[in-house]
Amino acid sequence: MNTKWPRRWPLSEIEQRQCARFGSSSMCNRRPPADSRRTAPSTAFPQQPLCNLTKWRCPSCWPSNSGSPTAPRGWSEIKSAADYLIGYNQGGVTAPASGQERWEEQSGYSPSTLAAEIAGLVCAADIAGINSDSTSQSRYLAKADEWASKVKTWTATTTGAYSKLPYFIRLSKGGDPNSGSTFDIGNGGGHVDPRNVVDAGFLELVRLGIMSPNDATIVNTLRVVDRRIARTINKLTYFYRYTKDGYGESADGSPWSTSGGTRGRLWPLLSGERGEYALLAGHSGAPQLAAMAAAATSTYLIPEQVWDSSAPAGTGGRAPGSPSASATPLGWSHAQFIRLAWGISNGSPVEYPRVVACHFLHRCAK
């Protein structure tokens, strides 16, 4: 069982799936969960000592996606959260950089976090308009546009070793994706050149309606990702979190340790995210859904990670693609499976903020 702390990022993913399931019911319009609220003037959301700015998008996007013509409840909280996001400054890190990215390991400029921030501000602007706050509406849209115009400048390298064309990296520490200054990747992985570390978090820019699935840098980064962090097992494709990930068991199958010598394996939920991209690109998400289903245990529990090769001796001898000793079940994995399945049935991803896609891509159909 997964006995880890209730991190807000996975919980926000689960809550979004519930919102997709229940449409414009009370699930979408309810106030943010109790553990995401704080009475402090900062309107910061507790998680751990560090701060993950992806949390601010959720309460901002839900009401805007619910289709309610009336002013949503909690506008003052949404306004406070959006204001806090724009003015974020902690430990020398200022927005849109954040103290953590989606994997809760690094500070800097991350494509996935930028996507969440930008989408959240556009949604907050829409809600501001509903509440006749034109000043906030203009402020949020202006900041969202500013950040969106700089996403590639901050996070797409043009001097990386993986391609002569621009591609998104996992993150840049100071907003310069062409800097060769190394950083400690964590989990015993040592110091690395950020240009050589890629993940699939950039797909959030597509899923949240900020960039087209056919954007040249998006498409090129997909090629890089497929060469560097994708693995095919039984004709099904899985992905590592990022290049040189050390969060997983050791080579002999013993548990993860802070002393190093461990490596991350394949995460089924990332196949689900790729499936949602496929839907937006006009393809089927069925192969990715099949990959997630194949990763489940005999009792239908989807794990955090699956083995990328045969399990080490003494660990049960499980085959590639079977659950590793990672957290099982992982709620985030199940939530992603539900969202992809629902999206396939719906014909498009169910969490695609139309107000964001309308603003950036002029896709305004209901």
d(CA 138, CA 24) in angstroms, rounded, equals 26
pLDDT band at 43 (very low <50, low <70, confident <90, very high): low
The answer to whether residues 42 and 80 touch, using CB atoms and an 8 Å cutoff, is: no
Beta carbons of 51 and 100 less than 8 angstroms apart: yes
Across 125-283, the runs of DSSP E, i.e. the strands, are: 156-157, 167-168, 183-184, 191-192, 230-233, 236-240, 266-267
Whether the predicted pLDDT of 7 surpasses 60: no
d(CA 122, CA 312): 48
Q: Please report, in angstroms and rounded to a whole number, the separation of the first and last CA atoms in the chain.
A: 40
Per-residue confidence (pLDDT) for residue 153, from 0 to 100 = 99
State the pLDDT at residue 297: 95
pLDDT, residue 52, reads: 53
Which contacts (CB < 8 Å, 24+ apart) does range 69-76 have?
70/130, 71/130, 71/131, 72/29, 72/127, 72/130, 72/131, 73/29, 73/31, 74/31, 74/32, 75/127, 75/128, 75/131, 75/133
Task: Say how far apart CA 306 and CA 136 lie, in whole Å.
Answer: 45
Q: Do 141 and 122 form a contact (C-beta atoms < 8 A)?
A: yes
Contacts 24+ apart (CB under 8 A), 231-236: 231/266, 231/308, 233/266, 233/306, 233/308, 233/320, 233/321, 234/294, 234/320, 234/321, 236/271, 236/287, 236/290, 236/291, 236/294, 236/321
pLDDT at residue 117 greater than cutoff 50: yes
Mean predicted confidence (pLDDT) in 294-307:
96
CA distances from 251 to 243, 312, 314 (A): 17, 7, 12
Sheet arrangement for strand 236-240? 230-233, 236-240, 266-267
Q: What is the DSSP letter of 56?
A: G
**pLDDT mean over 56-69:** 46
Backbone angles phi, psi at 192, to 5 degrees: -135, 160
Q: Which residues are catalytic?
A: 101, 104
Q: Is the pLDDT assigned to residue 45 strictly greater than 80?
A: no
Name the band, by pLDDT with cuts 50, 70 and 90, for residue 37.
Answer: very low
Structure-block tokens of residue 37: 């609220």
Domains of the chain by start residue, with CATH: 8-361 (1.50.10.10)
Residue 318 CA, chain-centre distance (Å), reads 29
Q: Which of the four pLDDT bands, split at 50, 70 and 90, describes residue 189?
A: confident
At how many degrees (to 10) do helices 134-155 and 75-86 cross?
40
Task: Judge whether residue 57 has pLDDT over 80.
Answer: no
The pLDDT score that the predictor gives to residue 25 is 45
Q: Give bridge partners of residue 183 from the DSSP assignment.
A: 192
Instruction: Over range 181-198, report the average pLDDT.
Output: 93
- For residue 180, the number of C-alpha atoms closer than 13 Å in the C-beta half-sphere is 3
Rounded distance between C-alpha atoms, residue 255 and residue 251, angstroms: 10
Mean pLDDT value of segment 325-336: 94
Element (H, E) at 90: strand 89-90
Report pLDDT digits (tens) over 130-166: 999 999 999 999 999 999 999 999 999 999 999 999 9
Q: Does residue 329 have a cis bond before it (omega within 30 degrees)?
A: yes
User: Are 77 and 140 spatial neighbours (Cβ–Cβ below 8 Å)?
Assistant: no
pLDDT of residue 62: 46
Give the amino acid at 52: N
Instruction: Please write the tens of the pLDDT for every residue from 208-258.
Output: 999 999 999 999 999 999 999 999 999 999 999 999 999 998 877 777 776
**Mean predicted confidence (pLDDT) in 4-13:** 50
Please indicate whether residue 187 or residue 273 has the higher confidence score (pLDDT).
273
